[in-house]
Amino acid sequence: MGESRKLLLFVSNPGEGVFNSLRVIAAELARRGTQDLWFASDEARRADIEKIDEGSGVRFASLGETDPNSSPADWDDEMYRLATQRSRWKAHHAVVRRGFDPKGGGDKYLALDALVEELEPALMIFDSVNPVALLVALNRRIPFVLSSPFLPSNLYIAKTPRGFPMLHTGLPLNMSFPQRVSNIMFKVRAGLMFLHPKMLKPALEGLSYMRQLQLPREFLSPSAKIDRADLVLCYTVFGLEYPFPVPDKFHLLGAIIPPLPEAPDDDDLSRWLDANPSVVYIGLGTISRLTGHEVHAVVEVARRLEGRHAVLWKLPSGQQHLLPPRDELPANLRIESWVPSQLDVLAHPSIKVFFSHGGANAFHEGLYFGKPQVIRPLWVDCYDQAIRGVDSGVSLTVDDPQTIDVEDVLDKITQVLNTPSFRERAEHFARVQREAGGVRAAADLILANLALK
């Protein structure tokens, strides 16, 4: 291809947490008439990209089938238990070990490298947890943009000030003495983790693999993706994230929200929301695996709210067999296995509080629509969002995330509903996120990149 081509290549892991924001940005660029847009991901994401029909459209390139072990939704019960256990350190260690792949995905690397050789993109845009795309971009010397729904300190922890909470600790900025000790120990153990035999062996294998591909070993450095990126787009704002200095290439844009409504034909749910002026929305994430006890506890929470508030609960179909018989469910509870658009739900004025798992996307999307939250953190980074929600005055966290205690959850929901400051702070961060620019600002920054001039 000639140098006049200014082709943009999006690359994404298939997980919804990182995929959705890139899909929305690609659609925005297509809507503006941007030519030569490509999107590479696993075959399972083909339909999501091919249905983007705005403007110039986006062409899809498959990187093959999804590794069933790569998605948390597909983990076996033991891995799920390890990743969501009570110990913050042990959960962090388990997740890092599971995702540690110094070979950069092997076949995925070769597939993406061949695609890049064919397309010769002027710029790559990919998620911040994508070692395959990073290695290809670095090796081919292609300018790239990082996309991250995570807190910027999650990416830039090595540059945060002394005493800043380590990622995945769930610790506040202002720590007690025991918390400071815990934070230091967490950092030390994280630094030594790669000397563990189960981490050292694959790391050495990765170095050997890098030599085979003739890639410099410094490409494996944790800071390589930040140091070499043209732009880093993070979907939060300071005030939710704790303050710390970031380089000019970091842009905090707030949640990435597409044009709404996403599901304009969902009349039945819309009518139900219209008919219930105060609704608690429960969406505990696609990864959560509730026990029978926890499912019955949520039903009881809804029962206790009857007469004052309705409850909309997104409960996956695979867990609905744990529900009591239909005739024993409270009249104020509506259960959906899937909502066509969680964003449409959160945008509805009847939603007064969001009971969530505290995932980065759910946390910021809820606040984008001014919804205060009650958070039951599921795993690693969810604890970081949860403590920032408490410190910014937009949410409360359940006392014991390892279970669902009816009295505690009901108390937290009632406090958030009845205390105006939670709604006021949530609405404040709704305004701040909109001012940050979201998807429009992301598209502007990408199109302004010198690689496209």
In this structure, is residue 259 part of a structural domain?
no
In this structure, is residue 335 part of a structural domain?
yes
In this structure, is residue 261 part of a structural domain?
no
241, 283, 290: which is closest to 84 by C-alpha? 290
- Tell me, rounded to whole angstroms, the distance of Cα 72 from its chain centroid: 12
Give the integer Cα–Cα distance in Å for 333 and 303: 8
Residue 216's alpha-carbon distances to 26, 38, 86, in angstroms, are 31, 28, 39
In this structure, is residue 395 part of a structural domain?
yes
In this structure, is residue 281 part of a structural domain?
yes
Same domain for 377 and 271: yes
Residue whose token pair is 């506890």: 297
Same domain for 361 and 441: no
Element (H or E) spanning 255, and its range? none
Same domain for 301 and 184: no
Question: 409 lies in which domain range?
Answer: 267-435
Q: What is the pLDDT of residue 277?
A: 97
In this structure, is residue 1 part of a structural domain?
no
Task: Write the CATH number for 119.
Answer: 3.40.50.2000
Residue 72 DSSP label: G
Same domain for 345 and 231: no
Give the integer Cα–Cα distance in Å for 128 and 223: 12
Same domain for 177 and 60: yes
Q: Is the peptide bond before 258 cis (omega within 30 degrees of 0)?
A: no
Same domain for 357 and 347: yes
In this structure, is residue 234 part of a structural domain?
yes
Same domain for 285 and 419: yes
Q: What sign for the dihedral angle of Cα 297, 300, 305, 311? A: positive
Same domain for 109 and 144: yes
Same domain for 160 and 14: yes
How do 310-314 and 231-234 pair as beta strands?
A: unpaired
Mean pLDDT in consecutive groups of 10 residues from the start of the chain, 453 residues: 71 93 97 96 96 92 84 86 95 84 71 97 96 91 96 91 95 97 95 78 71 71 87 98 95 97 89 97 94 98 98 96 97 96 97 97 98 96 98 98 97 98 98 98 95 84
Same domain for 66 and 204: yes
Q: What is the pLDDT of residue 158?
A: 84
Same domain for 44 and 93: yes
Give the integer Cα–Cα distance in Å for 234 and 250: 7
With H, G, I as helix, E, B as strand and everything else as coil, classify residue 395: strand
Q: What is the pLDDT of residue 1?
A: 38
Give the integer Cα–Cα distance in Å for 353 and 349: 11
DSSP bridge partners of 59: 38
Same domain for 131 and 34: yes
Q: What sign for the dihedral angle of Cα 120, 99, 242, 383? A: positive
In this structure, is residue 419 part of a structural domain?
yes
Question: Tokens for 257?
Answer: 């929200």
What is the number of structural domains in the chain?
A: 2
